[in-house]
Amino acid sequence: MKALLQLATRNVLRQRGRSWMTLLAIAFGVVALILAGGFIKDTVDELGESMIRSQSGHLQVNRAGYREQGSRDPSAYLIEEPEALRKALASIPEVEEVLLRSVFSGLLNNGRTDWAIIGEGVEPDAETRLGTYINVSAGRQLTDADPYGLMLGAGVAQALDLQPGDWVDLLTNTTDGAVNVLEFQVVGIFQTFSKDYDARAVRIPLSAAQALLGDAGVHLAVLRLSRTDATSATQQAAEAALAGEGFEVLDWKRLNPFYEQTVALYRQQFGFLVLVILLMVSLSVGNTINMSVYERAAEFGTMQACGAPRREIARLILLESALLGIAGATLGVVAGNGLALLISWIGIPMPPPPNSDIAYIALVRLAWWITGVSFLIGLLAPIVAALRPARRAARADIADSLRQAV
């Protein structure tokens, strides 16, 4: 095997022109996969982070059944002792902060017309630390110093023609069924990744929401974690800590089903891209290998005439292709990762995605699995392309092969 490896290495180095053509074809395919995979990974990661850091947080805790029946009777699913729940959740590792929210529906009036809204009573400063992906398009963020301040989704502001500084009336039902109304001043207008959310969303301080609803309870506890990768483990820890108390813990993926659908779509697209590039590289490399095997027919005939087994001819061709694959894939990995870093440093301006008004800067994210898959494709492509030529060369008649040297 050592002698065969030395011979294959010499043959690769001897045919420098064809070897470089093959290397470049393989490297091009590997670079394309790394860049495409990194771009898709960035898109998926940014979508997930935008959902986490503009609306849902990493985890949400609520009374069991709230998601299914809470819209009919939200008062039945209030968490009456939110501070005790906050304390229990805050002790879990990886939990950086526990935010409390009250959710309600109502009507917003600008003095001329009403607009149906979905309101959230939030802890302003804590929400600012969580909502790093929220774009404040006018005004400023809500703060704890705004007892009757209000932030509007961009769609609500447009529908009611409101600007920061305007005063509005917010009308809703209390937990007892009575009608209550409070006056708020608009301090800011925000945009998230979802236009549908922005078309109905209104945020006010939690204390104002509790006064409006006439109850000191909350509907949700939102967990902000130190890192997104810890979501699953933290969810299990939270479920164990709250076992038997009638709570359910939902992660951000379940809270945002659109994310899973998007991930499934991109996975299929990347899988199809892998197959296309594998086919293209195999065809490109296969043409070069076919020409090489045809021109070296006399060489292979001489080897057989000197006693080399037919299978050794096939092994030699496949080994040469594997060496080219290793070299080309390595070159492609180095070039692809280098280009990914360069492109990420420059950034790719992207238009707003569907159902959003916010443009963003895309990157090409590096990941070991993308690099591994790309390297494997670069290695396998020349080997797959060499299978048929190697078989044909091994089965060729010795006399016919030698006759090509004449």
Residue-wise pLDDT tens digits, 322-348: 888 899 999 999 999 999 999 999 988
Q: What is d(CA 372, CA 306) in angstroms, rounded to the nearest whole number?
A: 41
Q: What is the pTM of this model?
A: 0.80
- Average pLDDT rounded to a whole number, residues 373-401: 81
Least confident of 132-141, 270-279, 397-406: 397-406
pLDDT at 403: 66
- Average pLDDT rounded to a whole number, residues 139-168: 94
Residue 314 CB contacts under 8 Å (≥ 6 apart), including other chains: 390, 391, 393, 394
Reported confidence tier of residue 7, pLDDT bands at 50, 70, 90: low
pLDDT: which is higher, 130 or 320: 130
pLDDT at 99: 95
Percent of the chain with pLDDT over 90: 46
Residue 354 has pLDDT above 70, yes or no: no
Strand duo 201-205 + 114-122: pairing = parallel
Residue 11 CB contacts under 8 Å (≥ 6 apart), including other chains: 316, 320
pLDDT at 128: 92
Reported confidence tier of residue 230, pLDDT bands at 50, 70, 90: very high
pLDDT: which is higher, 353 or 377: 377
Q: What is d(CA 333, CA 321) in angstroms, rounded to the nearest whole number?
A: 18
Scanning the structure block, which residue is given the tokens 């891209």?
273
Task: Yes or no: say if 18 and 291 are a contact pair by the CB < 8 Å rule.
Answer: yes
Residue 164 has pLDDT above 90, yes or no: yes
Output the DSSP codes for 339-386: HHHHHHHH-EEEPPPTT----EEE-----HHHHHHHHHHHHHHHHHHH
Q: Which two tokens stand for residue 182?
A: 């409070």
- Average pLDDT rounded to a whole number, residues 54-60: 91
Q: Which two tokens stand for residue 81?
A: 């002792």
Kindly list the domain boundaries of the chain, sorted by start residue.
Answer: 2-51+259-403, 65-245
pLDDT: which is higher, 300 or 122: 122
SS (H, E, C) 179-234: EEEEEEEEEEEEECCCHHHHCCEEEEEHHHHHHHHCCCCECEEEEEECCHHHHHHH
Residue 374 has pLDDT above 80, yes or no: yes
Closest CA to 258 of 42, 44, 37, 60: 44
Closest CA to 134 of 51, 191, 195, 186: 191
pLDDT: which is higher, 75 or 242: 242
Q: What is d(CA 188, CA 391) in angstroms, rounded to the nearest whole number?
A: 72
Give the chain's mean pLDDT: 87
pLDDT at 100: 95
Angle 255-256-258 (CA atoms, 0-180°, nearest 5)?
155
Residues in the chain: 406
Q: What is d(CA 28, CA 278) in angstroms, rounded to the nearest whole number?
A: 11
Q: What is d(CA 349, CA 83) in angstroms, rounded to the nearest whole number?
A: 43
- Average pLDDT rounded to a whole number, residues 22-29: 88
- Average pLDDT rounded to a whole number, residues 369-385: 89
pLDDT at 321: 85
